[in-house]
């Protein structure tokens, strides 16, 4: 028996029968050692007043469960297809949570029931919408302080670092959110019982409508101190019910944090609520049996639930910002919660959700032409100029590498350039900055086709670099950017046809260099070679940052959460690492040694091959060097390469990676006080970063990192 379960339900006078029921075999078996024996009503208690019966079964389960005599079930839930298994969690001896989890859909939650203990008498029941029915959040709004709301209509999650919740947020600070539904003693008891370690901890306060969560207390020096990934995981697992009536379903998230964590946690909210969905309706059918006390209303089935597609769903994010009591310096981040700063976070959130939507959209919809239309819409929204070079025009104008990748597809390849110039720039010498993004809308691998077959699944995400660049450009210009900024999108579909580029072909890039093709699945570096060469030759940019889902080896080198950085500039290498920790777009540098590694691309008949000779010699670094070679290794400008093949997605969903990172890398050129202060924020936050020890350290006891003494200050 799960600890706390017996006390919870025996005191409430309710027995639980919980089992997986597979009708094709006509059997029920116990789960988690609960008292379910062959479908009988064997109970450890003789004074039971009711039964909760949750079963998973085959389609159309409507059989009469008369064998549960003498007492009929208070509640029955039936799945329509693909039975799974059921799991149960007890929280704080006051709540129990049942989840029906699919064993064939990545353990997705299908049905969810929350039970809360009340005094006196029977529990209160609440039926929550399943994961499959979860509505798409259309808008995310940010506020500088908690507003008054009603838990009966508006679910609320309160989340922050444990010491802040315990020491700086009394019940009175959140009473406007919890009202009379949660007693002060219950709130304090829940906060005291929170016990996060390397993962977050969450305790319900009122059914599944209110909860308090603490972020991990342990953090290594290569993680973000604000814990945005743990924050993201809490939000993905939080599944509040929809509003029962009205045209709007609204949920509130109250974030308790330090000023320097506002941006990263605000962006993490955007990553947790993707925009794209092709779900057409319910994935389950439910029959709710009302008992004599009318505890549970009948849940509408998929045929009667018609408002989900028309109801607007939105999330309100409200901050409770705690001053940095350990910091004596006055720095820009303490002005984070002002209207303009919240606007900046909103712009970044919009850019992140735009990038994620592009990456999530299937390739039959997000074609190369459709991606160009997305860029045109952004240009129109922010008042940027746009140049589109299409199809054979690319070949005629010398973009041989980009054209060679996309010429086999029925959808033409494109080079798209969005240009932002400050309105008051006359007579001023402005820095020219280019963000270059790889936009492969689908990658078959070309004639070097991806094998085995599962390697091709998910290749819609190969446009993640261009999507991130587009989202970052939108956010940067909306926030105000006082230098010239260009977004160069290299868009193509790497397909197969009689016109496809072959291994052994020799092509010429926009840089004028010849390339012998020895791997058509190394196409990203080809399109980026033309993109960076254009930024150098035509746009005459001094800073060129390219971003791409470039290599599978990136995930091996730096993992699922950290992008890989290759750059010719040590300051930008350090800046990218620090900005990753403060924005949540984590990254880590790879070796930069062209004199050691570029020989991997040696060709006997061309200037270079497009893939390495040895796959055990810093392949991700080499891929970046291939791109830089089209600028020239002696080019005096700044070049930064961001390989984000793994962090572009988390599971089946895109993350919008790179939007916040690019904004941080060019924060000095922003007119936003929040972005402009990011280098100083990173410098201050690093003084409170966690040390890399087995015991880590708590959020309010951040000690200086072990390498602080040799780190140059950010400028």
Crossing angle between the packed helical segments 184-193 and 171-178, to the nearest 10 degrees: 110
Length of the chain: 715
Q: How far is CA 635 from CA 628, 630, 639, in A?
A: 9, 10, 9
Q: Which residues contact 530 (CB under 8 A, 6 or more apart)?
A: 399, 400, 401, 402, 415, 490, 509, 510, 511, 630
Angle at 111 between CA 109 and CA 114, to 5 degrees: 105
> Which residue bears the tokens 């039970």?
115
Q: Which residues, in sequence order, are bridge partners of residue 115?
A: 96, 125
**Residue 631 φ/ψ, nearest 5 degrees:** -95, -30
Q: CA neighbours within 13 Å on the CB side: how many for 287?
A: 16
Q: Which of 525, 578, 581, 702 is catalytic?
A: 525
What is the C-alpha to C-alpha distance for residues 621 and 630, in angstroms, rounded to an integer?
A: 15
525 catalytic? Reply is yes
> Tokens for 77?
């839930």
> Tokens for 697?
């350290």
What is the C-alpha to C-alpha distance for residues 609 and 647, in angstroms, rounded to an integer?
A: 28
What is the C-alpha to C-alpha distance for residues 301 and 306, in angstroms, rounded to an integer?
A: 9
Tell me if 281 sits within 8 A of 66, measured CB to CB.
no
What is the C-alpha to C-alpha distance for residues 421 and 485, in angstroms, rounded to an integer?
A: 7
Q: Which residues contact 573 (CB under 8 A, 6 or more apart)?
A: 565, 567, 589, 592, 640
What is the C-alpha to C-alpha distance for residues 313 and 138, in angstroms, rounded to an integer?
A: 6
Tell me if 22 sits within 8 A of 83, measured CB to CB.
yes
Q: CA neighbours within 13 Å on the CB side: how many for 317?
A: 28
Q: How far is CA 385 from CA 350, 419, 421, 426, in A?
A: 20, 5, 9, 17
For 333: left if phi > 0, alpha if psi spans -120 to 50, otherwise beta; the answer is alpha
Q: Which of 93, 450, 537, 687 is catalytic?
A: 450
- Following CA atoms 509, 512, 513, 515 in sequence, which dihedral angle do they give, to the nearest 10 degrees? 30
> Tokens for 199?
């993962």
> Tokens for 244?
């029962």
Q: How far is CA 562 from CA 55, 218, 223, 526, 655, in A?
A: 41, 18, 9, 24, 12
Tell me if 103 sits within 8 A of 85, measured CB to CB.
yes
279 catalytic? Reply is no
What is the C-alpha to C-alpha distance for residues 157 and 66, in angstroms, rounded to an integer?
A: 40
Sheet strands (E) in 149-200: 156-161
Residues acting as catalytic residues: 450, 525
């Amino acid at each position: 028996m799960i600890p706390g379960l017996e006390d919870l339900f025996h005191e409430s006078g309710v027995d639980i029968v919980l089992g997986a029921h597979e009708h094709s075999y006509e059997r029920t078996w116990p789960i988690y050692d609960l008292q379910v024996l062959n479908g009988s009503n064997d109970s450890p208690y003789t004074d039971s007043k009711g039964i909760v019966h949750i079963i998973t079964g085959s389609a159309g389960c409507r059989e009469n469960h008369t064998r549960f005599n003498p007492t009929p079930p208070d509640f029955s839930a039936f799945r329509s297809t693909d039975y799974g298994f059921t799991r149960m969690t007890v929280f704080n001896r006051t709540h129990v949570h049942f989840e029906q989890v699919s064993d064939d859909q990545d353990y997705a939650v299908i049905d969810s029931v929350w039970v809360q203990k009340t005094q006196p008498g029977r529990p209160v029941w609440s039926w929550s919408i399943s994961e499959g029915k979860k509505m798409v959040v259309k808008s995310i709004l940010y506020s500088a302080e908690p507003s008054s709301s009603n838990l009966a209509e508006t679910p609320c999650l309160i989340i922050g670092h444990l010491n802040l919740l315990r020491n700086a947020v009394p019940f009175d600070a959140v009473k406007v959110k919890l009202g009379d539904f949660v007693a002060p003693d219950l709130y304090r008891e829940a906060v005291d019982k929170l016990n996060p370690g390397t993962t977050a901890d969450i305790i319900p306060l009122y059914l599944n409508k209110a909860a308090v969560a603490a972020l991990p207390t342990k953090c290594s020096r290569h993680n973000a101190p604000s814990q945005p990934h743990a924050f993201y995981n809490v939000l993905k697992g939080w599944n509040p019910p929809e509003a029962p009536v009205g045209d709007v379903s609204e949920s509130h998230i109250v974030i308790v944090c330090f000023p320097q964590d506002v941006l990263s946690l605000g962006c993490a909210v955007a990553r947790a609520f993707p925009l794209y969905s092709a779900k057409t309706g319910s994935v389950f059918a439910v029959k709710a049996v009302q008992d004599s006390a009318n505890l549970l209303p009948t849940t509408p089935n998929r045929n009667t639930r018609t408002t989900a597609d028309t109801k607007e769903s939105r999330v309100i994010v409200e901050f409770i910002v705690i001053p940095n009591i350990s910091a004596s310096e006055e720095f820009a981040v303490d002005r984070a919660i002002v209207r303009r700063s919240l606007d900046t976070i909103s712009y970044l959130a919009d850019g992140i959700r735009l990038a994620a939507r592009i990456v999530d959209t299937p390739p039959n919809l997000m074609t190369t032409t459709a991606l160009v239309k997305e860029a045109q819409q952004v240009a129109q929204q922010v008042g940027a100029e746009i140049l589109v070079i299409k199809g054979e025009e690319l070949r005629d104008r010398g973009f041989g590498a980009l054209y060679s990748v996309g010429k086999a597809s029925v959808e033409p390849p494109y080079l798209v350039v969005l240009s932002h110039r400050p309105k008051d720039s006359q007579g001023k010498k402005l820095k020219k900055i280019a963000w270059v993004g790889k936009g492969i809308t689908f990658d078959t691998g070309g004639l070097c086709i991806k094998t085995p077959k599962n390697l091709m699944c998910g290749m819609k995400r190969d446009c993640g670099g261009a999507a991130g660049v587009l989202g970052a450009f939108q956010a940067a210009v909306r926030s105000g950017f006082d230098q010239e900024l260009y977004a160069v999108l290299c868009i193509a579909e790497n397909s197969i046809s009689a016109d496809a580029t072959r291994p052994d072909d020799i092509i010429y890039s926009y840089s004028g260099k010849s390339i012998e093709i020895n791997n058509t699945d190394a196409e990203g570096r080809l399109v980026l070679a033309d993109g960076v060469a254009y930024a150098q030759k035509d746009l005459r940019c001094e800073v060129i940052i390219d971003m791409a889902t470039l290599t599978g080896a990136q995930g091996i080198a730096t993992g699922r959460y950290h992008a890989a950085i290759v750059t010719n500039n040590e300051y930008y290498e350090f800046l990218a690492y620090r900005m990753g920790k403060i924005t949540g777009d984590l990254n880590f540098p790879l070796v930069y040694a062209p004199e050691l590694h570029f020989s991997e691309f040696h060709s006997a008949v061309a200037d270079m091959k497009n893939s390495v000779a040895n796959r055990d010699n810093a392949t991700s670094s080499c891929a970046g060097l291939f791109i830089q070679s089209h600028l020239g290794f002696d080019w005096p400008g700044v070049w930064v390469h961001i390989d984000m093949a793994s962090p572009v997605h988390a599971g089946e969903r895109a993350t919008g990676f790179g939007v916040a990172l690019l904004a941080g890398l060019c924060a000095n050129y922003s007119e936003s006080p929040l972005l402009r202060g990011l280098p100083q924020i990173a410098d201050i936050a690093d003084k409170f970063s966690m040390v890399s020890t087995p015991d880590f350290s708590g959020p309010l006891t951040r000690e200086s990192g072990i390498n602080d003494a040799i780190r140059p200050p950010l400028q």
